[in-house]
Amino acid sequence: MSVIVKFEKCEGCGDCIETCPCGAIELKDVKAVIDGELCADCGACIDSCPTHAIEME
């Protein structure tokens, strides 16, 4: 399982970045990008996203 961002749904609000305890998310070209090396798969960012752009796959 890994956490992925559906780029077409991401509006670049940055809420997920504030939520991530691991500093695993950054914005690139106004889209959230998750660093799989830093991500602990905690799922916190999924609930933080107002556009439901983050999913566990």
18 SS3 class: helix
- With CB under 6 A as the contact rule, the residue among 37, 47, 53, 55 that binds ligand SF4 is 53
Residues paired with 31 in a beta bridge: 28
Enter the tokens of residue 24: 């695993």
- With CB under 6 A as the contact rule, the residue among 4, 8, 26, 32 that binds ligand SF4 is 32
Does the protein bind ligand SF4 through residue 40 (CB under 6 A)?
Answer: yes
Which strand (E) or helix (H) includes residue 32?
Answer: strand 31-34
Does the protein bind ligand SF4 through residue 41 (CB under 6 A)?
Answer: yes
Enter the tokens of residue 37: 């090396």
Using CB under 6 A as the criterion, which residues of the chain lie in contact with ligand SF4 when the complex forms?
Answer: 3, 5, 10-16, 19-20, 22, 24-25, 32, 34, 39-45, 48-49, 51, 53-54
